[in-house]
């Protein structure tokens, strides 16, 4: 990978500039505005597949030089950092204070905080700990004129004005370049456990219903099909038992609380639904946790989709997707209503269209949608990369028009 050029969906090469400070970033944006250039910000390049191809020539702005820790009052459980810091480095900074940002981001050693915010990445722990929108209390953005715009603050009890922080999270960098973020933090858990349940496909709905009624409070509830389990066991032989369906229930808390929840869960499970049950406690759970975090970005997939549904519809959608002839490897954050599907090199464009034509009405009926997180660039011209058009698209366009009227940031890449 040449650090001096960048390609996005075969568009380019784009010349790369890497500011070492926010002042330099502001100058770059002002210079691009004078030359009427588009600006494509990026971090660790882990999510460049996300979205549509660019539509205008311009420059790529590498934000990995913005890694400064501005303030870390550990007693207040907040930290203010520049957006080019990687998630792995952020974790290293927080660990000595027994703190963390409990958001799962694949490729954490490469993925930057700003990139994770722009794409609103979340993973298995979303069920128990929420998403990035729950942790950002202050944000600084360089706007289309090169000026710094700030929202929120550096303290948790910040209630003045509108909560504009959430506006920039998930906007794919189209409303401005995130340069600095203040996060609230959580303490590291004393203990962790993963309970692994295997079952036949027909038992999934009953098991999920029982888990939703549970007196326990899991932080993750993952559902895998046989193709996903096979992909895992190729990379890590024997990490999971071979089974048509695997449910993984995760707990993080004080040791006594985790122990009680595991025992309580076992007592609550409906009789006759399981093929096997296993629990992994402490460090023995680490390899499986890591795989669950990384699999949404599985490099072996030609196409990856993400469906967002009402949680109660997860089992039905999962079953329909598993029955398709493409042999999809499926991972569901079943407590949050999210299903991730990976298709391999055997998929064709025609079959991709047919597959989405089957799944989209099921997602829509469950008040959800399907977006493509990865597919061949040539397919993006005909496939619904951002899913079915939303009814609030007019509002999103109005916001874009106010904040980036000349569509200087990431033109063409987002649904607006």
Using one digit for the tens of pLDDT, what is the confidence trace for 128-181? Answer: 999 999 999 999 999 999 999 999 887 766 545 567 899 999 999 999 999 999
- Tell me how far apart the alpha carbons of residues 40 and 19 are, in angstroms, rounded to a whole number: 13
Give the H/E segment covering residue 263.
helix 255-268
CATH 3.30.465.10 fits 69-187, yes or no: yes
- Tell me how far apart the alpha carbons of residues 273 and 278 are, in angstroms, rounded to a whole number: 14
Query: Can you give the pLDDT at residue 154?
Result: 77
3-state secondary structure of 176: coil
- Tell me how far apart the alpha carbons of residues 88 and 109 are, in angstroms, rounded to a whole number: 5
pTM of this structure: 0.94
**How many other CB atoms sit within 10 Å of the CB of residue 267?**
10
Query: Can you give the pLDDT at residue 163?
Result: 76
- Tell me how far apart the alpha carbons of residues 409 and 401 are, in angstroms, rounded to a whole number: 12
Using one digit for the tens of pLDDT, what is the confidence trace for 195-220? Answer: 999 999 999 999 999 999 999 999 99
Provide CB contacts within 8 A for 42, sequence distance 6+. 6, 48, 60, 61, 62, 63, 115
Using one digit for the tens of pLDDT, what is the confidence trace for 310-361? Answer: 999 999 999 999 999 999 999 999 999 999 999 998 899 999 999 999 999 9
3-state secondary structure of 269: coil
Between residues 255 and 156, the one the model is more confident about = 255
Is residue 1's pLDDT more than 60?
A: no
Give the H/E segment covering residue 208.
helix 204-212
Percent of the chain with pLDDT over 90: 90
Q: How many CA atoms lie within 13 A of 251 on its CB side?
A: 27
Using one digit for the tens of pLDDT, what is the confidence trace for 26-58? Answer: 999 999 999 999 999 999 999 999 999 999 999
Query: Can you give the pLDDT at residue 159?
Result: 47
Q: What angle do CA 41, 94, 255 make, to 5 degrees?
A: 130
Query: Can you give the pLDDT at residue 161?
Result: 58
Is residue 391's pLDDT more than 90?
A: no
Q: Yes or no: say if 290 and 251 are a contact pair by the CB < 8 Å rule.
A: no
- Tell me how far apart the alpha carbons of residues 409 and 168 are, in angstroms, rounded to a whole number: 12
Residues in the chain: 416
Q: Yes or no: say if 177 and 61 are a contact pair by the CB < 8 Å rule.
A: yes
Query: Can you give the pLDDT at residue 415?
Result: 75
Query: Can you give the pLDDT at residue 155?
Result: 75
Provide the H-helix boundaries in 312-392: 314-322, 349-365
Domain boundaries, given as residue ranges, for the chain:
5-62, 69-187, 189-376
- Tell me how far apart the alpha carbons of residues 130 and 247 are, in angstroms, rounded to a whole number: 20
Cα–Cα distance list, 111 to 28, 39, 384 (Å): 23, 20, 26
Is residue 233's pLDDT more than 90?
A: yes
- Write down the architecture of domain 189-376 according to CATH: 2-Layer Sandwich (3.30)
Quote the tokens at residue 144. Answer: 């289309």
Using one digit for the tens of pLDDT, what is the confidence trace for 79-132? Answer: 999 999 999 999 999 999 999 999 999 999 999 999 999 999 999 999 999 999
Query: Can you give the pLDDT at residue 2?
Result: 59
Query: Can you give the pLDDT at residue 416?
Result: 63
In whole numbers, what is the pLDDT of the chain averaged over residues? 94
Is there a common fold for 69-187 and 189-376? no
- Tell me how far apart the alpha carbons of residues 133 and 404 are, in angstroms, rounded to a whole number: 22
Kindly give the pairing relationship between strand 177-184 and strand 136-142. Answer: antiparallel
């Amino acid at each position: 990978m040449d650090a001096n050029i960048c390609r996005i969906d075969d568009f380019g090469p784009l010349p790369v500039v890497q500011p070492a400070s926010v002042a330099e970033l502001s100058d770059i944006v002002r210079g691009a505005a004078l030359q009427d250039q588009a600006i494509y910000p990026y971090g660790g390049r882990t999510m460049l597949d996300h979205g549509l191809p660019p539509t205008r020539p311009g420059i790529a702005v590498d934000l990995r030089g913005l890694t400064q820790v501005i303030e870390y009052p550990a007693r207040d459980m907040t930290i203010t950092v520049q957006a080019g810091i990687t998630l792995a480095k952020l974790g290293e900074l927080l660990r000595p204070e027994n703190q963390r940002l409990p958001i799962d981001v694949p490729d954490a050693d490469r993925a930057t905080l700003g990139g994770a915010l722009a794409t609103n990445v979340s993973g298995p722990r979303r069920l128990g700990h929420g998403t990035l929108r729950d942790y950002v209390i202050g944000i600084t953005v360089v706007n289309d004129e090169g000026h710094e715009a700030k929202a929120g603050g550096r303290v948790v009890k910040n209630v003045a004005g509108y909560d504009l922080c959430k506006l920039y999270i998930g906007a794919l960098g189209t409303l401005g370049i995130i340069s600095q973020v203040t996060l609230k933090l959580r303490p590291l858990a004393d203990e962790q456990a993963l309970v692994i349940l295997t079952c036949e496909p027909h038992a999934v709905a009953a098991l999920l219903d029982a888990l939703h009624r549970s007196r326990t409070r899991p932080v993750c509830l993952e559902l895998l099909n046989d193709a996903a389990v096979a992909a895992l066991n190729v990379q890590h032989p024997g990490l999971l038992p071979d089974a048509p369906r695997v449910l993984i229930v995760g707990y993080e808390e004080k040791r006594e609380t985790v122990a009680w929840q595991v025992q309580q869960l076992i007592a609550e499970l409906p009789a006759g639904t399981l093929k096997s049950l296993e629990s992994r406690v402490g460090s023995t759970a680490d390899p499986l946790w890591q795989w669950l975090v990384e699999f949404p970005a599985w490099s072996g997939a030609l196409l990856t989709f993400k469906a967002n549904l009402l949680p109660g519809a997860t089992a039905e959608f999962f079953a329909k997707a598993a029955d398709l002839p493409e042999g999809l490897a499926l991972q569901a954050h079943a407590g949050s209503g999210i299903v991730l599907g990976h298709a391999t090199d055997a998929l064709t464009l025609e079959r991709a269209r047919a597959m989405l034509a089957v799944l989209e009405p099921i997602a829509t009926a469950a008040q959800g949608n399907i977006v493509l997180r990865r597919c061949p660039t040539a397919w993006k011209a005909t496939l619904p990369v951002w899913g079915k058009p939303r009814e609030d698209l007019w509002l999103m366009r109005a916001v874009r028009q106010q904040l980036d009227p000349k569509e200087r940031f990431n033109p063409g890449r987002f649904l607006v």
